[in-house]
Copies of this chain bind each other. A is one copy, B any other.
């Protein structure tokens, strides 16, 4: 609600006209492609935010938050006043007839901010950002029109060491977010190597180059033999459909395959192998020199090849970036909702793009960055069995058995909260059984019962609600658990806080979820 509605203003929320007739009642539904996220998801996301921010700030990156809107021209889209101005973005016209659009990534706002404030910024400018982005696309399963991204970028440094720093920081950030060491690897490639390869392979046209890239991108799915066909004349798939190939000669195709197979082992070994495939072309040598500098800086930072490897088979994004390109891939075995093993794939990526600010200033400005989807990382952690919010707990619920004793119940929650225990008084008007059901739905570990008997005797009764859930989920063995934790106990009122603390602390991890 509005913090300070004034008497003269019409209420903003329109609550006053809420008691409308049936006919006027809107249906309560969230817009297509937008989701409501509850405590558990948000807890995982907030832990990622806190952990990653701590790392990024330790690397000297400063937080930046821009508004949800940018002028459409700043986003690099031309939005005519036509029937469908919303192609890809959510756009509308402002009072002054300028087109506004919700940001669809965090890079375009950074470009605008950097260009707007270039003179006053310390350079190179290092910033990170967390925030929602919006895509006006057709929603689908797991595909939303709003999601949270986290980006870190260095603007104004052409040094390969700036790439290395971003890579090392991404590695450390993902680990801080909960991925165990070795659970993910950042794969690194370089656009210039690719250009060198194209020269070495005799590729002449942009169309042929794109066909080569598309063929290499299918390496995972088709294997070297399938890709060899696509690099040459073409390939007929199982259904008989023919895909025209890139038209390379046999030796050129082998060179491309040797290039993509140069990864594995130490970063230095990969560089040696690459040198023999594409060495000699000026641009290829430049790319190799950049990767060598990245390797040296990563090694100095203590980031080995098991965490950040050179992998020339990474071609996604190579058309898009201008130099180094990175892709973070989850290595842990993951399972889907039905327990089936699945390949999770990429959890983030980035690279060097040197045209960021030029859109506004006309001056080429080198930049490099890494981006990951926060929701996707949370899903990766969950799929890897690292559910950050698995042991989410509900509050201790103090039941209301005597309406005239509300102050006593509030004194109990006051004591519990002062001891750092999450607690609440039941605030509905239902009887004992619905109150117990409420406590169970809240994933409450303990219900506190204070009725006539307890008030008379100066005692309190605690009901262990984890017990039932643990038994139901098979976490606990009935007999063993019962021997250790009685389902219900009555104790002196003065022992309340200590006893509740004991039960909450004894909870088997994950049983509350």
Contacts and interface: CB of A to CB of B under 8 A. Distances in A.
A86 to B, nearest CB: 7
Interface string A147-169: 00101001011110110110000
A108 B13 contact: yes
A67 B14 contact: no
B96 A25 contact: no
B27 A157 contact: no
A149 to B, nearest CB: 8
Contacts of A13: 75-76, 104-105, 107-108
Contact of A350 (B1, B43, B96): B1
Interface of A is mostly: mixed
Contact of A316 (B5, B18, B346): B5
Contacts of A373: 3
Given A7-B214, A64-B37, A70 B15 contact: no
A5 B373 CA distance: 13
A7 B217 contact: yes
B29 A71 contact: yes
B32 A300 contact: no
Interface residues of A, number: 161
Contacts of A154: 427
Contacts of A156: 428
A349 B4 contact: yes
Contacts of A18: 76, 355-356, 358-359
Contacts of A69: 31, 34, 90, 146
Interface stretch (A252-260, A261-269, A414-422, A476-484): A414-422
Task: Pick the most buried of A7, A37, A157, A349: most chain B CB atoms within 10 A of its CB.
Answer: A7
B14 A37 contact: no
Contacts of A355: 15-16, 18-19
A100 B31 contact: yes
Interface string A23-45: 00111111110111111011100
A77 interface: yes
A349 B3 contact: yes
Interface string A133-149: 01100000000011001
A214 to B, nearest CB: 6
Contacts of A95: 86
Interface string A266-299: 0000000000000000000000000001001101
Nearest to A27: B360
A82 interface: no
Contacts of A149: 3
A208 B316 CA distance: 70
Given A1-B371, A26-B359, A14 B122 contact: no
A369 interface: yes
A243 interface: no
Nearest to A153: B1
A86 B92 contact: yes
Given A63-B38, A297-B410, A349-B4, A427 B22 contact: no
Contacts of A422: 57-60
A295 to B, nearest CB: 10
Interface in A344-372: 346-351, 353, 355-356, 358-362, 364, 369, 371-372
A420 B58 contact: yes
Given A1-B371, A60-B422, 5 more contacts: A3-B373, A18-B355, A25-B360, A28-B112, A31-B70
6 A-B pairs closest in CB distance: A34-B67, A14-B76, A60-B424, A60-B395, A28-B115, A300-B410
17 contacts: A1-B151, A4-B327, A4-B346, A7-B316, A8-B214, A11-B320, A13-B105, A28-B360, A30-B113, A42-B65, A123-B438, A124-B427, A157-B428, A165-B410, A297-B407, A300-B408, A301-B414
